[in-house]
A and B are shown apart, each in its own frame.
Chain A
Amino acid sequence: MKTESQEKISKILENYSYKPEKLIPILQKVQDEYNYLPKDVMDFIAYKLNIPSARVFGVATFFAHFAITPKGKYIIKVCDGTACHVKKSEAIINKIKEKLNLTNSNTSEDGLFTLECVSCLGACGLAPVVVIGGDVHAQVTTQQISDLIDGIKNEAKK
C-alpha cells in the first residue's frame, strides 16, 4: 500500500483515537474516500487497531452499506420497500437490469452504474422511488428510468 494512502487512513483512525469500537464510522469514512473497501486497506486498519483482519472483514461484509468490490460512478438506488413494491418497483428494477445488462454483477461493465435495491428510503408517499447520486426521483415509470439512464450516459460521454 502506498505511503500516501497509509497516511490518509491513519488520519481517519486518529480522528477516532484508534478505538476498535469506532470501527463502523471508521469504515464509513474510509469508504467515502475509496468508494469501496480494498482488501489491503482493511488489513491495514486491522493492524493499526490491533484487531484481527477477520473482524474488520466480518463487519464489512455484514452491513449492506459496505462494499468490498468497486462501485460504479453513479449509484442507482431503487427502493423496494412495501409501498414501492405494491406500486410495481420490481418492473423498474427489471428495466434497469435489462438496460445495463446486469446479470451476475450489480455494476455495469463500463463501471458507470451500480444498482442497489434498498429496503425502504422512507419516501413511501412518492412510490416508486429511485435515487441517483442524491437526487430523488418520485413516482418513476419504466420509461422515465430508461430516459434517466440514457441522459447520464450521454452526459458521461461528453
Chain B
Amino acid sequence: MSKKVNLNKIVKDYENNYKNVEHKIVLCAGLMCIASGALKVFEELKKEIKKQGLPVSLEINSKCAGVYVSKSGCQGFCQQGPLMNINDKIFYTQVKVEDVKEIVELTIKQNKKIERLLYLDPKTKKSTAKMEEIPFYKHQERILLKDCGNTNPDDINEYIANGGYASAQKATMKMNAEEICTEISASGLRGRGGGGFLTGKKWNFARIQETEKKYIICNGDEGDPGAFMDRSIMEGNPHSVIEGMIIASQAIGADEGYVYVRMEYPLAVDRMNKAVKQAEKLGILGKNIFGSNKNFKLHVMEGAGAFVCGEETALIASVEGQRGMPRPKPPFPAESGLFGKPTIINNVETIATVPKVLAMGGKKFGKVGTETSPGTKTFALTGHIVNTGLIEVPFGTTLREVIYDIAGGVTNEKGEIEEGAFKAAQIGGPSGGCLTKKHLDLKLDYDNLKKADAMVGSGGLVVLNNTTCMVNIAKFFMQFTQHESCGKCVPCREGTKQMLTLLTDITEGKATMKTLEVLESLATVVKTASLCGLGKSAPNPVLSTIKHFRSEYIAHIEKKTCPTGECLALAKYNIDQANCKKCSLCKKVCPTDAISGEPGKTHKIDSTKCIKCGACKTACKFDAIFVGGSK
C-alpha cells in the first residue's frame, strides 16, 4: 500500500500543464454565491465558451487548453455575489446568466472590460477592475482566506501546486514532535475558537503523555449564530484543514483524527470527505504517510445539531456516540479525552493556520498582528452594513477600520448609508458582548476585547444600527443559550431560564427596577457556578448590554416604552400631526380599522385596536407615523 508522493513532480506537472491554458476564470462557488445563482452562471459559461469556439478545461491536466474555468470557495464579498475573477485582472460582481455571452465575447476574446459588471464604489461612484483595489479587499490582509477564494477545493493538485502539503511533509519527514511544538510556540499562535489558549502550549501537554494511542480532533461545530468562518474554510480550502491536522498529529503523536463538522453545513461535509479521499489516494493520509513509517487515519464526522458540542468534553462525548454533555475538568482532554486517551481539540481556523505558520516560520508569523495576539483573524461581518461577507484582518485593526473601511459604513432602516447610524457591534456571539461608539478606536485583539467585556469568540461580528433594541438583542441571545443549555448543571439549566423570563418581563412592560437587580445578580451566579463555557459565558450579552445601554433597560421598565419600537408589546404608534398631510392612506391600509379620521382632517390611532403591525408606518409617504412616546 505504501507509496511515496512526489510533491515536486505534481507542482512541475501542474505548472507545465497550466502553460497550455490561455485564460483562467475563477467563479466563486461559496454557499452564498451559489444561493445567488453561481452554479447556473457556471453551466452557462461552459456552454457559451464552447459555442464561441474556444476549448474549455475544468481541470489542469495534460489535455487542458483554452479557457480554464474553476469554481473556488468563498471569496468573501458575499453581498456582491456571484463573483467572477478573470485572469486575476478583472473582477466582476453580481454576474448573471444573461451576462455570460458578453463576458466571453468581450472580456475573454477581446480583453475588454464590461463597465456595468465592475464594482462601483457607492461613495466615490468610481468603478474598480482589480479585486485587490476594491476597498473591501484593500484594507484586509488575507493570509488564510487568499487560497480559499483562489483555488478549486475539489482539486488536490491545485492545492499542492500552490505550495500545499509541503509543510505537512516537512513536519512528517524532517521534524520531530518537539520541534513542531517549539515552532508553533514561537509563533505565539492562539486558539481561534474563542478561548485564545496558546496552541503550542496545548499541544505540548498532549505530546508529553506517554501512551500508544492519542487523538486529534478538529472542531468544526461552528454553532455561534452569526459566524461562518469555519464553514467557508472547510468548503473553500478543505485541504488546508487536512494539512493542519497532519501537522498537529505529528506534533502530539496521534495516529487518528476526526474533523467534526456541523450538520447544517452539508457542502462542507461533502468537500471535506472528497478531500480526505483524494489525500488518501496520494498516500498523504492513511498508512505510511508521505512514505514514512507513520500513519494517520482521518475521519469526517457529521454533528447532529447541538451548540454545546462546541465545548471540548461535550464534543468528545458526541464522537463517542453519547449525548453531547460536558463533564468537569480536570482531567483535561490533553490527558484523558476521547475514549480515555490524550486528545487535542483545535478549532478549524487554528488548524488551517498551522501550515501557514510552518511555511512562514514561527517567528515571522509572530510579527503579524499585535504582540500578544499574533497573526490574522477572520471575521464574519454581518448586520446593518453595506458590505457583508467574510474578512481577514491582522489583530490590532480597529473596529472603525472594519466597519467604515471594509464594511463600507452602517446602513439605516431603509438600507442606505447613514453617518452616525452605528449603535453597537456584537462580537463573539452568544458568549460575547457588545462594543459601542466609544470602542470604535479599540484595537481588536484577545486582550483588548477581554478588557472591554467582550471577546474575539469564533469571530462573528454583527453590526447593529440605531433601530435595534439592545434589550431585545440580549433576549435573543438568552433564548438561544437557554434553548441550547444541555441541562446537566443547575445554574445553567435553571439560571438561563429565569434570566430569559426576567428579560421577557422587561420587554413586555411587566418589570420593575427590582427585576433588573435580580437579573444582574442572577447573571453573576450563572457566570460563576456553571459547569462549562456555555453557561459561564451565557450572561455576557446581558451584562454587556446593561453596562452600555442601561438607559434603554430603564426606559422599558419605568417609562414602559421601547425607544426603538422593536418590542411589540411596548410599541405605541402615533401620528406626528406636523408632518401629516391628512391623506388618509394609513387609514386605508390599517387591517384593524384602528385609525380614525377623514381625508383633510386630523387622523388618530386608537391604541386599543392597534395590533402594531407597522403597515401604516410603511405606507406613509411623509414619515408622519412614529413609534414610541415622542418623536
User: Could you list which residues of chain A lie within 8 angstroms of chain B, going by C-beta atoms?
Assistant: 19-25, 27-28, 55, 58-59, 62-66, 80-83, 85-86, 118-127, 129, 136-138
Contact = CB atoms under 8 A, between A and B. Distances in A.
Q: What class of interface size applies to chain B in its complex with A?
A: 35 or more
A63 B31 contact: no
22 contacts: A21-B320, A22-B321, A23-B322, A24-B301, A62-B324, A63-B303, A82-B426, A83-B462, A85-B476, A86-B473, A119-B307, A119-B480, A120-B228, A122-B222, A122-B231, A122-B264, A123-B228, A124-B380, A124-B382, A125-B78, A125-B79, A126-B78
Task: Pick from B79, B226, B307, B319 the residue with the most CB of A within 10 Å.
Answer: B226
Contact of A119 (B225, B323, B464, B486): B225
B227 A122 contact: yes
A81 B226 contact: yes
A11 to B, nearest CB: 19
Nearest to A120: B225
B35 interface: yes
A24 B321 contact: yes
Contact of A82 (B306, B322, B389, B429): B429
A124 B265 CA distance: 13
Contacts of B380: 122, 124
B301 A25 contact: yes
B263 interface: yes
A121 B382 contact: no
B224 A126 contact: no
Nearest to B473: A86
A25 B484 CA distance: 21
Most buried by B among A28, A55, A122: A122
Contact of B225 (A27, A81, A126): A81
B264 A121 contact: yes
Contacts of A64: 304-306
Nearest to A64: B305
A115 to B, nearest CB: 15
Given A20-B321, A64-B306, A82 B382 contact: yes
A144 to B, nearest CB: 14
A120 B227 contact: yes
A123 B226 contact: no
Contact of B382 (A20, A118, A127): A127
Contacts of A27: 304
B389 A66 contact: no
Contacts of B32: 123, 125-126, 138
Interface string B26-56: 0000011011100000000000000000000
Contact of A86 (B78, B303, B468): B468
